[in-house]
Amino acid sequence: MSRRDRLVELRHDTSVVLPSLLLCDFGNLERELGRLQDAGVKALHLDVMDGHFVPNLTYGMPIVSACRQLTDMPLDVHLMVSDPDAYLPQFFDAGADVITVHVEACQDPRATLQTIRDLGAASGLAFNPQTPLEELAKYADLCDLVLIMSVEAGFGGQAFNPGTLDRLAQARSIVGPDVVLEVDGGINRETIASCAAAGAEWFVVGSGIFRQSDYTAAVRNLLDLARPPLTG
């Protein structure tokens, strides 16, 4: 199965909660990934920050590679870096299944998205809160995933911006039903249901999991809130 196919396989799940590893205990990474897998997590979100495109510095290929060695869960790698094209092959080789780049950081987003697909990964395009979504129509045909940021990229633990709900609905109307719509920033028990109602399918969660004592209960609760109610 190709890495792009893994994303298609995950779409059979109506909702996917992706722990953002920024807040995990990196001193016990294997234990943390085991706890997440035991909790029913289907994929992981890795935030790569370069201290240039965003005012924070996190990790790079070695952590992605370490996660790849420790789990077979799909890795959704979110590149918050300047000149992402310079690093696409390295992150693919490290084990990324999805590579998401920021439209604000790409000189030619179409070329970048095509390169990601040519490598064999699923292609993602992220939008910061102040970036007009009208740009999305130019690139939607090359997107396997669109990530709508509720907060400015760069730091975890920020509060959810309610205006994100309209942006999610707008993005869904642009890309149609066949592109994964992901949301990141302030996603927790209070915000996940409204994001799902607005069209989001993948939910990046940090403190809503890692600052809870019981990962299993936290993940199950989030999934229950994100799934549409049964009708009929």
214 is an active site residue: no
Cα–Cα distance, 111 to 70 (Å, whole number): 32
Q: Of residues 50, 97, 144, 184, which has the active-site annotation?
A: 184
* Strand-pair category, 202-205 with 180-184: parallel
Cα–Cα distance, 232 to 216 (Å, whole number): 29
178 is an active site residue: no
Question: Between vectors from CA 13 to CA 11 and to CA 19, what angle results, nearest 5°?
Answer: 90
Q: Of residues 5, 47, 85, 141, which has the active-site annotation?
A: 47
Strand, coil or helix: what is 184?
strand
Q: In the chain, what is the straight-line distance between the N-terminal and C-terminal CA atoms, in Å?
A: 36
Residue 232 in tokens: 């009929």
Question: What sections of the chain are H helices per DSSP?
Answer: 3-10, 29-38, 61-70, 88-94, 109-119, 164-175, 192-197, 207-210, 215-226
Other CB atoms within 10 Å distance of the CB of residue 102: 25
Q: Would you name the residues annotated as active-site residues? A: 47, 184
